[in-house]
Amino acid sequence: MADAAEQIFASVRNAAQRGAPLYLQLKKSIEDAVHAGIIGPGDALPSERDIALKADVSRVTVRKAVQDLVRGGILVQRHGSGTFVAPRVERVEQSLSLLTSFTEDMARRGMTVRSTWLDRGIYPPSPDEMMVLGLSSKEFVARVSRLRIANDTPLAIERASLSATALPDPAAVGSSLYAALEKTGNRPVRAVQRISAANLGEADARLLDVPAGSASLNIERISYLASGKVIEFTRSIYRGDAYDFVAELRLSGRADNAGAAA
Ligand code: 16G
């Protein structure tokens, strides 16, 4: 990126003459270059020393600008190999009107799915689980917690709780929870989902491979069997930079009224 580097860092030298704060100017120049596509996902940045020389600023200034951009998710640092423009995450558009599983959603998009197990086992239920799943304190809950990964990008952390009667052996769940429930006639047919905005804490951000404080969507899904019984209570954290939830809306009663008038 020799020419690109000249172009990016020359503007910092000019800004310096106008007395603008240097690390912010350098940060903005790099950010603008990424947004304009002058440097793209995966491109390596010159070394700290080279940037300092080209932009005519101190290495401390370069470090400060780069650290800010890493925190903001624009750049990534790999130990031993340098600093790169962060890979672009393909956004996933998810319909809010279909009750599908993560595996089905990703397979439909031709993406390969895998999960890392965070927890699976039988536990005494928490007060929330007792209330939502209708369990007594003497009954047990099956917990299935996974990091969901599509095309090698971690997209969501999902923590599902089910009555241990419906899922007596959580260790037997393979790659799909809904496929396991289908086998025992326990696949949900209806669900209510609550979505709220949040910022990721350190631990969840590390799992999702984004900077701490990044935007996320917290989703709570309560799913029902045809009998009306709750089968699943899942709390998920989705990456805000990777998901668009899409809902189709209709004007209430419009079709009926139009029909009545005709
Ligand atoms: C979806 C559901 C989750 C369900 C999972 C089953 C949302 C927000 N969550 O990710 O509640 O447990 O699918 O997926 O849509 P699986 O069958 O691939 O394990």
Query: Does ligand 1 have an atom closer than 6 angstroms to the CB of 92?
Result: no
Q: What is the pLDDT of residues 68-115, one digit of tens each?
A: 888 877 888 887 888 998 877 777 888 888 899 999 988 888 889 999
**Which residue type, as a one-letter code, is found at position 19?**
G
Does residue 197 have a pLDDT over 80? yes
Average pLDDT of the residues in 122-142: 97
Average pLDDT of the residues in 196-205: 95
Candidate ranges 8-12, 46-50, 135-139, 252-256; pick with highest mean pLDDT: 135-139
Helix-strand-coil split of the chain, %, nearest 5: 35, 30, 35
Q: Are strands 243-246 and 92-95 parallel, antiparallel or unpaired?
A: parallel
Give 184 Cα–ligand 1 centroid separation in angstroms: 17
Q: Is the pTM of this model over 0.85?
A: no
Report residue 141 as tokens. Answer: 């809950």
Residues above pLDDT 90, as percent of the chain: 55
Does residue 152 have a pLDDT over 60? yes
Of the ranges 102-106, 165-169, 190-194, 256-260, which one carries the lowest mean pLDDT score?
A: 256-260
In whole angstroms, how far apart are CA 84 and each of 40, 68, 190? 9, 14, 44
Give 112 Cα–ligand 1 centroid separation in angstroms: 15
Average pLDDT of every residue of the chain? 88
- Kindly give the number of the ligand 1 atom that is closest to the alpha carbon of 179: 17
Q: Which residue has the higher pLDDT, 185 or 98?
A: 185
Average pLDDT of the residues in 45-67: 91
Average pLDDT of the residues in 116-138: 96
Buried b or exposed e, range 50-61, using 16+ CB within 10 angstroms:
ebbebbebeeeb
Give 29 Cα–ligand 1 centroid separation in angstroms: 41
In whole angstroms, how far apart are CA 74 and each of 36, 45, 125, 209? 13, 12, 41, 13
Q: What is the pLDDT of residues 221-262, one digit of tens each?
A: 999 999 999 999 999 999 998 888 888 888 887 655 544 443
Query: Does ligand 1 have an atom closer than 6 angstroms to the CB of 160?
Result: yes
Query: Does ligand 1 have an atom closer than 6 angstroms to the CB of 181?
Result: no
- Kindly give the number of the ligand 1 atom that is closest to the alpha carbon of 104: 18
Give 224 Cα–ligand 1 centroid separation in angstroms: 13
- What are the start-end ranges of the H helices in 85-215? 102-108, 127-133, 177-183, 202-208
Query: Does ligand 1 have an atom closer than 6 angstroms to the CB of 83?
Result: no
Q: How many CA atoms lie within 13 A of 77 on its CB side?
A: 14
Query: So what's the pLDDT on residue 56?
Result: 87
Average pLDDT of the residues in 125-148: 97
Query: So what's the pLDDT on residue 247?
Result: 85
Query: Does ligand 1 have an atom closer than 6 angstroms to the CB of 234?
Result: yes
Residue 15 pLDDT class (50, 70, 90 cuts): low
> Sign of dihedral through CA atoms 152, 156, 159, 163?
negative
